[in-house]
Structure 1
Amino acid sequence: MAMGMASSGRRRGNRTRRAAMAEINVTPLVDVMLVLLIIFMVTVTLPAVGVPIELPESRANPVEELPDQVNISVDNAGRIYLENDPVAPGGFADALATIRRNDGEQPVIVLRGDTGLDYGRVMAVMGELNRAGFKSISLVTDGSDTAP
């Protein structure tokens, strides 16, 4: 044998027999699993707002999310949330005044209202939005297959 080269098997004539590898190389498996995890994390749609609300059903076409949209939620008790932060009772108009407008453009307001809400409460919130100068308001619903 040449110097520095070792053989792990026995020598039979001209053939060298090597012992079977007893360990499994898990590096490719881990690489594939990490890539799949990243793909899953990127493609899964996460809820944009963390306020738990039971949305009404509708067959409306979905609207794409915009990076500068403002989420306003009204829960079953009638409490208003700006993004994930609760708004103090009577402080909704002041909270709307804090919303920054980019280059004078009106941001898109996404209104999420609970199914059990009184229609008058939703209209009061929309009236305040209109009074504050917001003209582009989207109402969020859950998808449905059946017609009303």
Structure 2
Amino acid sequence: MKKCSKSHHSALAELNITPLLDLAFVLLVIFIITTTPIVNDLAVDLPSAAKRLKDPKHNVNYVTIESSGKMFLNKDPVDLASLQEKVVALRVDDPNLNIVIRGSAKTKYRGIVEVMDALQQANLGKVNLATEAMPEPGRKD
């Protein structure tokens, strides 16, 4: 009978994993290319700057946020909780309540978002943001 040498068995026990790694990387690349990234977005309707609507002067309530964080509702100082209560009271009188949020140029965006959240919790569906008109190109004011 013929005996097998140990060196012959060790050669069969080794497995070349290079093709397996190539296949794994190809599958990884295909997976990365075909998957779409999941993005959490906040849907915002941005107004066009081409036309400017005049602010209606009747039944408009202004929420003003200063850069220091102080808030005012129609020139009366408020905090978030009292703002929400006052807006609910104003909505009882006028179901089509019109709120405009104004902030200084140095107001942190977080303060504006907090006011928008408070107004949303007061079931106010539509909120307006006051902005400054962009100067027309070539026009000197």
Interval of TM-score (by shorter of Structure 1 and Structure 2):
0.5 to 0.7
Match of 1:143 in 2: 133
The residue correspondences of 1:28-39 to structure 2 (distance < 5 A) are: none
Is structure 2 residue 101 aligned with structure 1 residue 111?
A: yes
Match of 1:98 among 89, 94, 101: 89
Higher relative contact order (CA 8 A, sep 6+): 1
TM-score, normalised via structure 2 length? 0.53
In terms of fraction of residues, the more helix-rich structure is 2
Whether the 8 Å contact between 1:101 and 1:107 is mirrored in structure 2 is no
TM superposition shift of 1:89: 6.4
Alignment partner of 1:91: what SS? helix
Match of 1:69 in 2: 60
TM superposition shift of 1:135: 1.2
Match of 1:130 in 2: 120
Instruction: Please list the CA deviations of residues 93-113 of structure 1 after superposition, one character each: whole Å capped at 9, or x if unmatched.
Output: 22323324446x231111111
Whether the 8 Å contact between 1:106 and 1:136 is mirrored in structure 2 is no
Q: Which consecutive unaligned segments of at least 5 residues does structure 1 have? A: 1-57
Aligned length: 89
Q: Which moved more, 1:107-116 or 1:81-90?
A: 81-90
**How far apart are the structure 1 equivalents of 2:80 and 2:117?**
16
**How far apart are the structure 2 equivalents of 1:120 and 1:107?**
24
Pick closer, same or farther for the CA change 1:89–1:71 going to 2, 3 Å: closer
TM superposition shift of 1:77: 0.7
Instruction: Please list the CA deviations of residues 74-106 of structure 1 after superposition, one character each: whole Å capped at 9, or x if unmatched.
Output: 111111101011114643222323324446x23
Is structure 2 residue 76 aligned with structure 1 residue 85?
A: yes
Match of 2:11 in 1: none
**How far apart are the structure 2 equivalents of 1:143 and 1:61?**
8
Alignment partner of 1:98: what SS? helix
Displaced runs of 4+ in structure 1, greater than 2 A? 88-98, 100-103
Identical-pair percentage: 21
Whether the 8 Å contact between 2:80 and 2:118 is mirrored in structure 1 is no
What letter matches 1:109 in structure 2? I
Whether the 8 Å contact between 2:85 and 2:122 is mirrored in structure 1 is no
Pick closer, same or farther for the CA change 1:142–1:110 going to 2, 3 Å: same
Please report the RMSD computed on the Cα atoms of aligned residues, expressed in angstroms: 2.5
Is structure 2 residue 111 aligned with structure 1 residue 121?
A: yes
